[in-house]
A = this chain, B = another copy of it.
Amino acid sequence: MTRQELIAQIRIKKSFLCVGLDPDMEKIPKHLLVTEDPVFEFNKQVIDSTKEYCVAYKPNTAFYEALGVKGWTSLEKTSLYLRTHCPNHFSIADAKRGDIGNTSSMYAKAFLENMDFDAITVAPYMGEDSVVPFLGHKNKWVILLALTSNKGAFDFQILKSGDKTLFTKVLQTSMAWGNAENMMYVVGATKTEMLSEIRKIVPNHFLLVPGVGAQGGSLAEVVKYGMIEDCGLLINASRSIIYASSGTDFAKKAREEAKRMRDEMAALLR
């Protein structure tokens, strides 16, 4: 998906919501456990009920890998379902991969070719040759970790080198590897006080923002400091939407929560 296509969807739906598809067998509704593929059934119903209100979906690979071959099968089915039933939604493999060049190429094959996701999240620690293999795919995106939403972000990401933090260096250095048409950055909603600084460095890139919802970040704050003319934001919510109810009404409740967030976004969208 191109940047212009993504922006068009945001304008049409008045939404910049990304729904995280993180199916945990201990949390998905009990009545689904008797189906052949509970994880895929759960995802399918969440997707069907929320797609009107969001512009992106983001399965996190950990939740699928924890289920072994069966989980990987569910992930492939989910990616195919997104491709066929939601061709106008931006799809993100939240995989946080990154390895030496020939190995990163293999990950790119897995997620951007075989499963045909629009984007993959990548960890920056191993530098340029670990990231570039993901950038050679037409209309595909790298979403590079910059400033994450968790407490551990303070261990290394804000270390100062000269007068610049590590995540600032990651932003500045990686901008030369791609551009605002094929790279985004992960910036946690729990760190909004740093968004103004980040926007000075990457005024035009989209930011994928986790941490609104279950992790406690504020949507209004993110918009205030992070929104640009082209919106430039994808706000992810996972648990607050997909686990809005643990009963047979989970899809309905997920839809209500997605709509609630969309309405909040519609009011904030400039």
Contacts and interface: CB of A to CB of B under 8 A. Distances in A.
Contact of A65 (B98, B106, B128, B154): B106
A154 to B, nearest CB: 7
A215 B104 CA distance: 16
A126 B98 contact: no
Given A129-B151, A148-B126, A166-B166, A68 B156 contact: no
A114 B157 CA distance: 32
B127 A154 contact: yes
A109 interface: yes
A111 B68 CA distance: 9
Given A72-B68, A99-B62, A109-B66, A125 B125 contact: yes
A62 B103 contact: yes
B97 A62 contact: yes
A245 interface: no
A204 B126 CA distance: 25
A65 B115 CA distance: 10
Q: State the number of copies, please.
A: 2
B96 A99 contact: yes
A188 to B, nearest CB: 9
B66 A69 contact: no
Interface string A115-152: 10000000111111111000000000000010011111
A100 B149 contact: yes
A110 interface: yes
A91 to B, nearest CB: 16
Nearest to A100: B150
A103 B145 contact: no
Given A62-B99, A63-B106, 10 more contacts: A60-B103, A62-B106, A66-B107, A66-B110, A98-B123, A100-B148, A126-B145, A127-B151, A159-B169, A160-B161
30 contacts: A22-B103, A24-B106, A60-B99, A62-B103, A62-B104, A62-B110, A63-B106, A65-B107, A65-B110, A65-B111, A66-B106, A66-B110, A66-B114, A68-B110, A69-B73, A69-B76, A100-B148, A123-B126, A124-B156, A125-B148, A127-B150, A127-B151, A127-B152, A127-B154, A127-B156, A128-B151, A130-B150, A156-B169, A159-B161, A160-B161
